[in-house]
Structures are given as C-alpha cells and as structure tokens.
Structure 1
Amino acid sequence: MRNQGVGTWPYRRARQVPDAIAIVFRDEELTYRELSERATRLAHALAELGVGPRDRVALIGMNHPSYLETLFAAGLLGAVMVPLNARLTAPEVTFALRDSGARVLIHSGALADVAVASANEAGIDHRVVVDGSPDAGAVGYDALIATAGTERIDHVVGHDDPCFIMYTSGTTGNPKGVVLTHGAVTFAVMNPIIDLDLCSDEVSLVAAPLFHTAAMNFVSLPTLLKGGTVVIEEGFEPGRALRIIAERRVTYSFGVPTMLDAMSAHPDFADADLSSIRRWIVAAAPVPPRTLQTYTERGVKLCQAYGLTETGPGALVLTPNHAERKVGSAGVPHFFTDVRIVDADGVETESGERGEIQIQGPNVMREYWNRPDATDDAFTGDGWFRSGDVGVRDDEGHVTIVDRLKDMIISGGENIYPAEIEAAILGIPGVVGCGVFGVADRKWGEVGCAAITLEDGVDLTYVDLEAHLVGRLARYKIPKSLVVLDAIPRNATGKIRKDRLRAMFSNAG
C-alpha cells in the first residue's frame, strides 16, 4: 500500500483477524472487518463533502466509536483529524474551528447548540450529526456511512504527514494546536505496546475522554494495533466502570487520580472483581499516596506515567515489574523516548537534584499549528521539548514529578512545590480534593493557599489544617490560608485549574 499512515490500521488488522472484536459500545460489538468497512465508507463520504489531503475534519462529542472511525477515515484520505474537548463553550469551539481551518464538523446531537453556533460563526461548510437526528443544516453520521462506497482507498500518506491537531487545555491564553504526525502517533502507540507488554487479547476500558491523547494514543490505538478489544464508555461512572471490569474481564485502562478515587469510594469497590486487570495507567495529575496504596492493597498494579499532549502523550512510564518497588515514581523514559532533567542554566542535574523535564523522540510533536513563535519557544536550541514540569531522578534513573514550574510558589526566597503539600493535606481524614496555589503577600511576596473539598458532614478549619501539617512539612511550606469549596475547578482531564483558583482567591493571603 502507498498509505503508510494510521488510517490503514483497521484494514491491516482485518487481513489477519477479520472476525475478532475491535470495539464494544453500548454492548454492541464491532469486528475488525466491520471497523475497516465503516472507516472506508466514512472516508468516501468525507471525500464527497470535499475533504482531501491535509484538510481538517473536526469532531466534538462524548466518547463514541466515531472518534476512531473518523481518525481512520481521515487517515485514508491524508486529511487531519481535530478532536475537540466536549466541555468547550461555543466561543472556544469557534476559535479552534477557525484556527484549524476545519472544513467539516462532526458532532453529537447532544452538543447541537454549541456545534451549530460555532460552525455558523466559523463558516464551516458541512456538519455531520452523530447519535441524534440531524437538523436541516446537517446530515446524519450513520446514514452518511450507509450510503457511501466501499472501494478501497490508497492515497500516498507518509510518516511525516500530519495526523492530528490536538488542542491544549489552554490554561493560559488561547489553546495551541499540537500537530502530531502519523510517525509521531505510530511511535507514541508503540511505546506502551513495548513497555507494558500489551497483548493481542487485551480488553481495554476507555472511560477517559477520547479527545485526550492518553485515551486515544495510550489505550485505544495500542489495543487496536495489537488486535485487542476496546470497550468504549460514553463517560465515566464509577459503579458502572467496576461492573464492566468484572463482566468484560478488562485487562488494561487509563484513568486520572480522581477517577480511581471515585471507584475506590464507591460502595461496590470492596467486593468488586478486579482480578483481570494486568496494569492500570494513572497520569495527568499528581497521584496521592493514599490512592496508590488503596489499589496496591487490592492487587492492582497502578503504573504511573507522565507525558503531555505535545509528546503524544508518553514520556515516562512505571512498568508493572517496578510498580510496587518504585511507588510514587513516574518511571523511566519510554523505549523510543529520551528524557533529561536540567537546571536553570540547561545543565543536566545529578540524581536527587530538581530540574525541568525535557523530552526528545519521534513521538514528540512537530509544531504548534500556525504558531512558529510558540514552537520555537517550546524547544531548546538542541531540539529538546521543554515540558515546564519539575522532576527529580533517582540513582536508578526513575523520575518523580515534583510540580509544574509555573505552579511553584516562591515565598521569601524559598521554592515551594504545591504537589508535596497537596499530598500531605489529602492524608487528612475527610479531605476529598486539594489544590495549593500561590497568592500575593506583602511580607513574603507570595504564600500558599489551600483550596479543599470535604466529605459530607466533615468540617475542617485552618487551625485543624495547620495542626495536621506541623511536623510533617517545614513551616514555610504550610499554606497561610484555607478555602473550602463544593468543587475544585478542573479541566476535562482532571487537572486542577490553578489559574482559576488564583483568579478567584487572589486576595486570600
């Protein structure tokens, strides 16, 4: 085949195991033969709508097989998929559609209000509605596929051609479009296959959002490349997730810490059958020690990992054979990826010394879409991607993530890393969530403020907080104020929006 890209993967797998189950959604099973045919039909349909090589096809919706079918269909045409966060507002979607120059918007019926307004504002040519009745200005997704051709498509697509434009969460300013090539996606997918020993009999649960690189490139695509089964959930519900793990004999999954905590807090957790799980990746936010301990006691190997959208997402991974011995670490660099830790002068640090994590490898993004200035700023002169995260390497090469450089609090000349304090606060009985951030202070320049959420019926005063932390943390690290919230602001991947906390409580110090 002339097409060496990701779009051909269903066809290549269907040649070998056509009747194996590729996707399960709402208890309906889709074989590799059927997945290949649906991707081919969708590619023909998109071509009829005017989509060609390098054109962008955007998608916004809840988790659905259309994410994977659209990716493969776009790949067959040499087009570029643009998955968008389902929680975005209409102005945010409009920005992404305009910035990417998308020609087609595929969206769920449930998001019609946002999709229609955004498409009209951005001047989108065509809308396709998934899982709902199309309005007068759109066509139905399944109807489009059903009436399209099945002739095999084989355009020239190479590893240097763009596959995705994935927008960052945009915690500061407008989001940036991360361009991942077909080669970058291939190497990003191969990393977990090699490092986690993924098998052809994997049953992988995808309850995290498919617009996120972890759910797509670290779970779904590796499983499909190996010929396993991807069980797609529209969203995350802890009780249902526990049932699916037992019923489908789930072997592999990814979740952010809040998802794992929600499952362990569910009444069914104590009796849930988790014996099928071979490894469970946890990343995207600092993992509280109590979360790691809870699952270790149940025999589940929680493998911490670290990466970014820009690295597709993998950079570091803690493999199952080290999961207990190196608990709390994010592991070592992936097979195809290199990681270094450098000080402020760009000199590699010694083991035990903190510094910025920098990443290099074929899985790293090519560029930020139409942002040469931001692209230049993101890379060092010798080609390493600047993560903006602080890490420390031990004498065996395992890296522990300390915090974000931008979240570091400088108080009276002392560097304070919020993740360390958050872990200590989460050890207080009744504390469910915690985010520590810096607020201005006349004397010290900046001091810490702790935002927490509590279990029903639990009260916690600042005096209680301070009493718990004294003796556990140095005095200068203890937050100087406390706010109790109903919910801590987070983005779709579970990361705490500390920019919002700082804006909300800038005078809390």
Structure 2
Amino acid sequence: MNDQGLGSWPRRRARMTPYKAALVQDGRRMSYRQLDLTSTRLAHGLRARGVGPGDRVAFLGLNSIELVTAMFATASLGAVFVPLNTRLAAPELRYVLDNSEPATVICEDTLATSDVAAMLDEIGVSTYIFSRNAGDGLRALEADDESPLDDSVGHDDLFMIQYTSGTSGRPKGVQLTHGNVIWNVMNLMVDVDLGSEEVALVTAPLFHTAALNQVLFPTILKGGTALLEARFDPDRALDLIESEGVTLLFGVTSMYLALSDAQRFGGADLTTLRSALSGGAPIPEALLRVWLDRGLMIVQGYGLTEASPGSTMLRAADGIRKLGSAGTACFFTDVRVVDGAGDPVTGEPGEVQVSGPNVTPGYWRDPATTDRAFSDSWLHTGDLATVDEEGYLRIVGRLKDMYISGGENVYPAEVESALYEHPDVIEAAVIGIPDPTWGEVGRAFVVAAPGSSLDQDGLIAHLDGRLARYKLPKSVVFLDDLPHNASGKLMKSQLREVNP
C-alpha cells in the first residue's frame, strides 16, 4: 500500500479478520469489513466536500462508531482529524475552531445547542449534524463509492491535532503525526500482552489521547473488539464487564474510584479482566490496594498528550514491589529527571523530560511555545518526579503546583497520598495559598465518605506523624465533589477560586 498511515488500518485488518467484530455500541456491531467499507465511503464523501491532504476535519461528539469511522476516513485522505472536547462552552469551542480552521465540522445533534449552532453559523464553516441514535450513522455524508483509497500517507504526515485540556490558559493544539501514534502503540504492545480476542471497554472520552491511543488503536491493531460507551457509568461498566467478557479496562483515578464505590463492586464478576490501565494522575496506594483485593493490579503509566501519550509504564511484575510508582521508560522512549540546571538527578524531585518517536513535533501554529517546550530533542513536560536508583519514576506533582512553605518545597501529590490513607477520604487535592508568616501554606480540599464525621482537626491529626510538620495543610475545605475536566483530570485552577 502507498498509505502507511493510520487510515489504512481498517483495510489491513479487514483483509485478515473481515467478519470479526471491531466496534460495538448499544447493541450495534460493526465488523472490520464494515469498518473498512464505511470509512471508505465516508472518505469519498469528504473528498466530494472538498477535503484534501492537510485539511482539518473537526468532530464534536461523544464516543461513537461515527467518531471512529470519521477519524479513519479523514486519515485515509491525508487530512487532519481534530477531536473536540465535548464539555467546552461555545466561546471555548470558537477559540479551538478559529485556531485549527477546519474545512468541515461533524457535530452530534445532542451537542448542537443553540449557542454552538450560532457559533458555527457565524464562523461559516461547513457543518454536518448527525444523530448517534438514528441508526444510519453518517450515511448521508458518505458517497456511494467503495473503491479503495490508497493515497500516499507517511509516518511524518500530520494525523491529528489534540487540544490540551486548558487547565491553565488557552488550550494548545498538540500536533501528532501518524508515526507518533504508531510508535506509541508499539510501546504499549511491548508492555501489555494484548491478544486478538481482546475486548476493550472504552468509556473515557476518545477526544482524550489515552482512550484513543492507549486503548482503541492497540485493540484494532490486534484485531480485538472495542466496546464504545458514550459516557462513563460505573454500574453499566460493571454490567458490561460481566456480560461482554471485558478483558481490557482503562480509567483515570476518579473512574476507578467510582467503580470501587459502586454498591455491587464487591460481588461483581471481574474474572475476565486481564489488564487494567490508568493514566492522567497517580492513583493513591489505598485505591490500588482496593483493586488488588479483587485480584487486579492497575497498571499505571506516565504520559502526556505531547507524547501520544505513553512515556513510562509500571509493568505488572513490578506492581507490588514498586507500588505507586509510574514505572520506567517505555521501550522506544527515553525519559530523564533533571534539576533546574538541566542535570539528571536521582532521589530528589526534578522535571520530567521525554524524547522519542512518539513525541510531538510541536504545537499547531505556535512556534514560540514549541521552542520553549524543547531543549535539543527533549520535551519539557512541566511535571515533577523523583527517580530511584533502579530508574523508577514517582510523580510528585506539577512544577506550577509545588509551593514553598517556610523555605521548604512541598509537593501536593505527597500530601494527597497521605490524605488518601484515611478511610473516610474519597477524594483529595492540595494547593498552596499565600500566608503572611510562611509565604505559602497548604490547603486541602476533601470529599468525605457519606455519613462521615470527619473534620479538619481530625484529618490534620491523621497526617501528623505521617508527614513533616511543614507539609501539613493549615486548613481543610470539605466539598461534595472536586472539579474535573472531561478527561478526568482534576482542575486545581478552579479550587483556587473556591472561597471557603
């Protein structure tokens, strides 16, 4: 084939296992042959609308078969897929669309609110509205042409622009090439023994790099089946694990917490699960042990959108020995931890830097930010970690989240981990706030278990003796829930606006 990119994957898989179920959603099953033919018809349809190599195709919709077919169709044309965060407000979407300048926007009808519709009309971009529940998918957008496409698409060609979650400032468009994603999949395949009979539950949003590049693409490469869920629901997820024989699960901390808190978790049949992956933020050891008690080691890794995302992995064999670690560098990726002078350090916190074929070539239309993000071939992640003598990373926070109290560095992740050791703490986050005496002190935000009598004094007393005194939060704010973005990441910037 001339097409060496991701758009060729449905055809490559269809010639091997044409009648195997590729995608399943709400009782609808699409085989690999159907995935190939549908994405081919859609590619012809997009080409008829003027989409060509390098053009952007934006998609605003929940996890769906339509999202996957639109992505493969776009890729087969050498065009660039732009998955949009479904939780963005119209002005935020406007910024992303103005920045990416798509040739076409494909939008799910439930998300085409009056504000979004008015914004799309104002921009004047060609828009196609579809219904995920109508049963005909994107049929009206497809052409009646199933002749194979085989355009020349290489690993260096741009596959996708994924916009960062915007936890601070404007979102940045991370450019990912076909090669970036393919090398990322290779990294994951080295570390996780996926098979052709894999049944992957995809509940995290596919506009997020982890669900797409760590779950969907590896499953399709191996010829497994991806169960697509529009939204995460812990009880339904447990039902699907049992009824569909799910073997591969991915989630962020809040998702694993919701599953373990579900009333039927203790009696749920999890025997088919072979792999449980996590990313986005470190999982507290207390939660890891809850899943260990059910016989499942959650395999944690460290990554970021700019690395497609996988950078390190804690292999299952080391899961207990290095519990809470993010593991060591993936096979095709190099990772180092450096001090402020750029020198590698061991045993003390430093910035994580990443290099490898899975790392972005830079940010869309933002050369200045790209230049600041790289030193030689090393990407500056802005994340803080310690690395032990065996090379295992332990993420301790973000550079911007670290605060200095009385001249001492405090890393919120360390304090949060100690908070999670209290049995009544469901979720916790720590930030630094100004203090006239110490410069900054910690403030903890905590979600307590229902019916708990936990109070500030009791929680700080729990930490006393577990942490140095300067690390103890000086105040605790109890909330019903903590703010998260659509990919499950905690939004600490919003906590700074809470007025206790």
TM-score of the aligned structures, taking structure 1 as reference length:
0.95
| Residue 422 (structure 2) aligns with | 428
Measure how far apart 1:357 and its partner are.
Answer: 0.6
- Which residue of structure 2 lines up, in the alignment, with residue 309 of structure 1? 305
Tell me the residue number matched to 1:162: 158
Q: 2:260 aligns with which of 246, 258, 264?
A: 264
The worse-fitting range, judged by mean Cα deviation, of 269-278 and 209-218 is: 269-278
The answer for the alignment partner of 2:187 in structure 1 is 191
| Contact 2:164/2:173, CA 8 A, preserved across alignment | yes
Task: Give SS of 1:440's match.
Answer: strand
Whether contact under 8 Å (2:247, 2:274) holds in the other structure is yes
Residue aligning to 2:401: 407
Other structure's SS at 2:487 match: coil
- Letter aligned with residue 360 of structure 1: S
Q: 1:143 aligns with which of 124, 128, 140?
A: 140
- Once residues 405 and 185 of structure 1 are traced to their aligned partners in structure 2, the CA distance between those partners, rounded to angstroms, is 27
Counterpart for residue 40 of structure 1? 40
SS in 1 for 2:105: strand
* Structure 1 stretch displaced more, 125-134 or 254-263: 125-134
Tell me if structure 1 keeps the 8 A contact 2:66–2:132: no
Query: Structure 1: which amino acid aligns with 2:140?
Result: A
Q: Give runs of aligned pairs for residues 103-118 of structure 1, distance below 5 A.
A: 103-113=103-113, 114-118=115-119
| Pair 1:292–1:84, CA change in 2 (3 A) | same
For 2:440 and 2:379, the matched residues in 1 are separated by: 29
Corresponding residue for 2:374?
Answer: 379
Residue 128 of structure 2 corresponds to residue 127 of structure 1 = yes
State how far apart, in whole Å, the 2-side matches of 1:42 and 1:290 are: 47
Residue 160 of structure 1: SS of its match in structure 2? coil
Flag structure 1 segments of 5+ consecutive residues without an equivalent. none
Shift of 1:216: 0.2
Contact 1:109 1:133 (C-alpha < 8 Å) held by counterparts = no
C-alpha contact 1:425 1:431 (8 A) present in aligned 2: yes
Q: Once superposed, which parts of structure 1, at least 4 consecutive aligned residues long, lie more than 6 Å away?
A: none
Offset, 1:51: 0.6
Q: Deviations over 1:205-260 (max 9, x none)?
A: 10111111110000000110111111111111111111111111111121001111
Asked whether 1:200 is paired with 2:201, we answer no
Residues 292-332 of structure 1: CA deviation (Å, up to 9, x unaligned)? 00111111121001100000010011112222222111111
SS at match of 1:16: coil
CA contact under 8 A between 2:105 and 2:125: conserved in structure 1? yes
Separation in 2 of the partners of 1:501 and 1:246?
37
The CA distance in 2 between the partners of 1:170 and 1:16, in whole Å, is: 41
Of the three residues 355, 359, 381, the one matched with 1:360 is 355
| Offset, 1:122 | 2.6
Q: Distance in 2 between matches of 1:484 and 1:300?
A: 31
In 2, Cα distance between equivalents of 1:152 and 1:456: 57
The verdict on how the C-alpha distance between 1:233 and 1:96 changes in structure 2, with shifts beyond 3 A counting, is: same
TM-superposed CA distance for 1:462, in Å, is: 1.7
Q: Deviations over 1:354-401 (max 9, x none)?
A: 211100000001110000000011111x21001111111122221111
339, 345, 365: which one pairs with 1:343? 339
2:484 aligned partner: 490
Q: Distance in 2 between matches of 1:231 and 1:180?
A: 25
Alignment counterpart, residue 469 of structure 1, candidates 436, 460, 463 = 463
Question: Structure 1 CA distance, aligned partners of 2:140 and 2:124?
Answer: 24
Kept in 1, the 8 Å contact 2:183–2:357? The answer is yes
What is the rounded CA distance, in whole Å, between the counterparts of 2:316 and 2:423 in structure 1?
29
Q: Deviations over 1:96-134 (max 9, x none)?
A: 111001111111111011541331233212323242679
User: Does residue 234 of structure 1 match 2:235?
Assistant: no
Supply the distance in 2 between the matched residues of 1:391 and 1:355 (Cα, whole angstroms): 6
Percentage of pairs with the same residue: 48
SS in 2 for 1:503: coil
Letter in 1 for 2:370: T
Q: Is the counterpart of residue 455 in structure 1 residue 449 in structure 2?
A: yes
Paired position in structure 1 for 2:85: 85
Give 1:140 shift: 7.1
Question: 1:56–1:104: 8 Å Cα contact kept in structure 2?
Answer: yes
Kindly state the Cα deviation for residue 453 of structure 1 after the two structures are TM-superposed.
1.3
CA contact (8 A) 1:253 1:281 kept: yes
Q: Distance in 2 between matches of 1:395 and 1:161?
A: 38
Equivalent residues of 2:109, 2:129 under 8 A apart: no
Aligned residues: 499
CA deviation profile, 1:455-493 (whole Å, cap 9, x unmatched): 222233221122111111111101111111122111112
- 3-state SS of the aligned residue for 1:437? strand
C-alpha distance in 2 between matches for 1:140 and 1:257: 32
- The reply to whether residue 504 of structure 1 matches residue 478 of structure 2 is no
Query: Which position in structure 1 is the counterpart of 2:62?
Result: 62
CA contact (8 A) 1:90 1:118 kept: yes
C-alpha separation in 2, matches of 1:194 and 1:130: 38
- 1:16 and 2:16 aligned: yes
1: CA distance between counterparts of 2:491 and 2:22?
35
CA contact (8 A) 1:130 1:142 kept: no
C-alpha distance after superposition, 1:35-74 (max 9, x if no partner): 0001101101111111111000001111111221111101
